[in-house]
Structure 1
């Protein structure tokens, strides 16, 4: 389908969605990610519209990933534009460095610890004997409880293990190797509690698909990016992903087990972590080893601590299933009384909602705080000196005193919103490691000084502020990305991209226009 046909069909579907209302102009934006569609449709007055979703899906899913926009006048004239060089719209993201990552978000290519290099050597005989004995004991208990033996796939050979390790580039922990020698796959019998180890072939396939290791989260530049510490602290490296987290099992419900071959100082190689849809924040520490998991399952079964299902499943009430009471985040609404928080020293993320007027120093008992969000405040004294680990702060307040942020050694992300008075840029210039800054919609008399922030890589401004910088000759060549708010037309965003990177490749743009009859 040619661009003219795409634009005309978008305009027709947009007009059909306005049949019962009066409007002067309307816009329809489609973000085709290559795997799905994001659709925005509204009139100039802000009324949301509902164009034919099925027709839009049929039209756009076969097309290349891109942003598509049509603007329609009530008289029938329309203008169509498409470009793959704008990340999103409303707000718009322009990404100039696809390899940029926030702190704690490593790209693939991490060094492998020497102890985990493939050797081709057979599994440690003592470990193999121990795992074989534990599995046999489980099978005996299972048979006694269920009345039949557990169904396990035959074990792998040493040659199969060596081949798998050569493909992933790392030697598996000895006890996981031994588990695969006993059985290539557990069909949810409960050998590892609610989890099951998957086949060796599946382990290799999961590792090699996409990025090495566990899939990370919050990897795009538009995400917030602060990585929290796994509890207990010091055992797991504080990273969003790791080449040497090797997924080997799951609960078949969206949560996955991984062995950690690259632990932090207080951790051990082969420790087991969990990640997935029910694990919010950092990976969850499960056990120091696969061996420890098997031993805990047996303890629970012997103590009669299990749930028996009508099928073949037998789930031990193992201690490693239980999350610690303290999660990494906390929400406080219309209060600043931290005395009510259990274990305040473990809170890493705080949502402070509707606090009225507040001096942030009152939150100093939250000594492990890494991400602070203040929402809908009247006045904030931003004294951050009592938070030695703080990396990100977003403050929405009518009034804010920023004197207390200057010189903070670990703060790399700051976002301000709702401030009704001019922002003193001098306080921002005193942040030595500021990587991300958000000032959209605010009065910043010395905005041009943003060019002095040598560490700045990601900036959020409104379209008027961006034009102001460009008109002043500030182009910010070190930016990895810029977020532009304000709802500017896609054509204007493309023009701003050209001005921000005049020496870079010209944005790829397709345009068409016409009139509906």
Structure 2
């Protein structure tokens, strides 16, 4: 990775010992840096107590400007430090120990050429744009004060960014998106390669020409990508959208509550348009009260004792997360993502499951289904022979051991050990 990384990390270590109050035995910095940004977590001593800083570690923003960098650094009270540096591994530090994720089979994306015309855009995406889009650009229409129409090069850059992001984090591979619009008009995904972003609104949401609509949609319809607002159907054509560019109302699609606050009557009264629910501390809640939520696609249940969801098998659930002492799962054919915590669980037949996280549950590892993305703890991985496209490790505090685990899964990642000393 070059001598410049040594110099950059030395400056980071110097900043750490400067801004942290003396008295620590050692500090551990875990960081993921790319393009002048990134995430980090700084902890103190073997107990990993968080060190809260006023402001940011400014020197950290200089790391990873030319390529993404992931590292774990230990800085001691005498100013000596060691850092293990790698790349192509996701290091999530929102909880400790961190979670490490690698993609075993990442698709290769060709370089995107510059675009000066809509014909260039069509060549990049591999499909023609509707005639009304060409007409819109030909007459230089002003849509609305809050909407910016992209020039061709910006269309391609934005499209390229979204296509790369769709593969970046496996945790998002089967994540449902909230949707507002006619049923079946739009594909329920975060992005599709034939969604062409031609504009953005004042909130930064991208507005796309949809060349791959749902079964009840129309090629060339306008949609808004999920962002500050849900994925939204806007109009059946660019012409209709340009004449009336208002965004739809999206209130009441999600509800997050403690079961005791609503009570059985309140739960039974939830609107059938609800798409995302979080139920905290359900107690003895009868989950059959949710059976009328025929648009429910994501359900999270946290802090339960005995959670029985068998009565919800008919719902179009795509993602289910449950943390409870006892769990009965619904046999949902639509389920693509499942996260379980805290219980011995028997998995029903889930034919469309793509993402499975049982790192916090007691399951039969030898009988796990084939999925695209599997999350297990270290002990579970020692008993697992599956080799999905992406894998994640929980419960491991060492980046070095995470790299060994990745190698055992067939992913050899670069490593560089950097040591030095700064003044204290």
- Which bin holds the TM-score, normalised by the shorter protein? 0.7 to 0.9
Which residue is equivalent to 1:146?
none
Among 191, 195, 198, the residue aligned to 2:149 = 198
Equivalent-residue separation in structure 1 for 2:86 and 2:288 (angstroms): 47
- In structure 2, the CA distance between the partners of 1:431 and 1:171, relative to structure 1 (3 Å rule), is closer
Equivalent-residue separation in structure 2 for 1:163 and 1:437 (angstroms): 40
Among 355, 359, 363, the residue aligned to 1:436 = 355
- In structure 2, the CA distance between the partners of 1:338 and 1:369, relative to structure 1 (3 Å rule), is farther
1:382 aligns with 2:301: no
- In structure 2, the CA distance between the partners of 1:56 and 1:357, relative to structure 1 (3 Å rule), is farther
Equivalent-residue separation in structure 1 for 2:16 and 2:25 (angstroms): 13
- In structure 2, the CA distance between the partners of 1:48 and 1:485, relative to structure 1 (3 Å rule), is farther
Q: Give 1:95 deviation, angstroms.
A: 1.5
Which residue is equivalent to 1:287?
235
- In structure 2, the CA distance between the partners of 1:173 and 1:240, relative to structure 1 (3 Å rule), is same
Equivalent-residue separation in structure 2 for 1:271 and 1:75 (angstroms): 63
- In structure 2, the CA distance between the partners of 1:429 and 1:47, relative to structure 1 (3 Å rule), is same
1:393 aligns with 2:400: no
1:34 aligns with 2:35: yes
Q: Alpha-carbon deviations, 1:100-137, whole Å to 9, x = none? A: 7xxxxxx989xxxxxxxxxxxxxxxxxxxxxxxxxxxx
**Structure 1 regions of 5+ residues with no counterpart?**
101-106, 110-159, 187-191, 298-317
Among 156, 175, 179, the residue aligned to 1:208 = 156
1:65 aligns with 2:68: yes
Which residue is equivalent to 1:241?
191
Which residue is equivalent to 1:328?
253
Which residue is equivalent to 2:114?
none
Which residue is equivalent to 2:113?
none
Equivalent-residue separation in structure 2 for 1:173 and 1:63 (angstroms): 38
- In structure 2, the CA distance between the partners of 1:86 and 1:175, relative to structure 1 (3 Å rule), is closer
Q: Give 1:512 deviation, angstroms.
A: 3.4
SS at match of 2:285: strand
Q: Give 1:27 deviation, angstroms.
A: 0.3
Equivalent-residue separation in structure 2 for 1:196 and 1:269 (angstroms): 22
Q: Give 1:36 deviation, angstroms.
A: 1.3
Q: Alpha-carbon deviations, 1:132-182, whole Å to 9, x = none? A: xxxxxxxxxxxxxxxxxxxxxxxxxxxx7767655654433333333334x
Equivalent-residue separation in structure 1 for 2:292 and 2:258 (angstroms): 17
- In structure 2, the CA distance between the partners of 1:439 and 1:49, relative to structure 1 (3 Å rule), is same
1:411 aligns with 2:335: yes
**Structure 2 regions of 5+ residues with no counterpart?**
111-116
| TM-score in terms of structure 1 length | 0.67
Q: Give 1:237 deviation, angstroms.
A: 2.1
Q: Alpha-carbon deviations, 1:369-426, whole Å to 9, x = none? A: 11101123343223254443112111123x2232x43x43222322123x2xx514xx
2:340–2:360 Cα contact (<8 Å) kept:
no
1:452 aligns with 2:367: yes
Equivalent-residue separation in structure 2 for 1:60 and 1:197 (angstroms): 33
1:348–1:370 Cα contact (<8 Å) kept:
yes
2:176–2:188 Cα contact (<8 Å) kept:
no
- In structure 2, the CA distance between the partners of 1:516 and 1:237, relative to structure 1 (3 Å rule), is closer
Equivalent-residue separation in structure 1 for 2:309 and 2:84 (angstroms): 43
Equivalent-residue separation in structure 2 for 1:484 and 1:378 (angstroms): 26
1:396–1:416 Cα contact (<8 Å) kept:
yes
- In structure 2, the CA distance between the partners of 1:358 and 1:384, relative to structure 1 (3 Å rule), is same
Which residue is equivalent to 2:59?
56
- In structure 2, the CA distance between the partners of 1:242 and 1:511, relative to structure 1 (3 Å rule), is same
* Higher strand residue share: 2
Equivalent-residue separation in structure 1 for 2:18 and 2:120 (angstroms): 59
Equivalent-residue separation in structure 1 for 2:193 and 2:305 (angstroms): 45
Equivalent-residue separation in structure 2 for 1:516 and 1:238 (angstroms): 52
Which residue is equivalent to 2:100?
93
Equivalent-residue separation in structure 1 for 2:313 and 2:393 (angstroms): 32
Which residue is equivalent to 2:140?
184
Equivalent-residue separation in structure 2 for 1:168 and 1:232 (angstroms): 26
1:512 aligns with 2:413: no
Q: Give 1:440 deviation, angstroms.
A: 2.9
Structure having greater relative contact order (Cα 8 Å, sep ≥ 6): 2
Equivalent-residue separation in structure 2 for 1:341 and 1:267 (angstroms): 32
Q: Give 1:41 deviation, angstroms.
A: 0.6
SS at match of 2:189: coil
Equivalent-residue separation in structure 2 for 1:161 and 1:85 (angstroms): 34
Equivalent-residue separation in structure 2 for 1:208 and 1:98 (angstroms): 25
Which residue is equivalent to 1:371?
298
1:108–1:243 Cα contact (<8 Å) kept:
no
1:269 aligns with 2:190: no
SS at match of 1:70: strand
SS at match of 1:415: strand
Cα RMSD over matched residues?
Answer: 3.5
Q: Give 1:59 deviation, angstroms.
A: 4.5
Equivalent-residue separation in structure 2 for 1:276 and 1:409 (angstroms): 25
| TM-score in terms of structure 2 length | 0.80
Which residue is equivalent to 1:256?
206
Which residue is equivalent to 2:407?
498
Equivalent-residue separation in structure 2 for 1:209 and 1:377 (angstroms): 45
